Structure 1
Amino acid sequence: MLIIFTSIIIAVYLVVSAPKYNKNPWLWGILGLFFNCLALGIFLLKTNRNILGWIFVVIAALFITLMIVGVFSYASSTK
């Protein structure tokens, strides 16, 4: 439930902020809905807010890495 709420908040933020930087709000809204922190980080990087952008990209990369490791460790433990 928290992930869905976070995705919606990030998508709304990207839809509202995108026109300020001459970006497509539909594209960034959809990306924010499906790839929440990663899309937010990339948007921040493309709008020259580098430190905050890299923080979100690294958090998303760590989360994705932990998910992949968890899936593989679960798959190997069930054999």
Structure 2
Amino acid sequence: MDSRSIDFAKTASIDLMTLNNKVVNMRQVVKRAKVHVISKLCRHIHKLKMKQGTEEHKAKNLRKAERLIEEIDSMKVRFYA
């Protein structure tokens, strides 16, 4: 028998109520982390837009900034079940 089979998995060390409480408690931490990441990306976008260089480098930096803006927008989207 393969020891990695899910049929022989050990029982979970945490019950559903405890798991639910941990997830609920993590919501605030996740929100704070999300705010910090968005702020960091905004600073990076600003630096990219302000960089000097040739037209080719400026265009490249603007494309990078647009990708980061899209990433921020995707982070701000909320999914409702």
TM-score by length of 1: 0.38
Query: Larger radius of gyration, structure 1 or 2?
Result: 2
Structure showing the higher helix proportion among its residues:
1
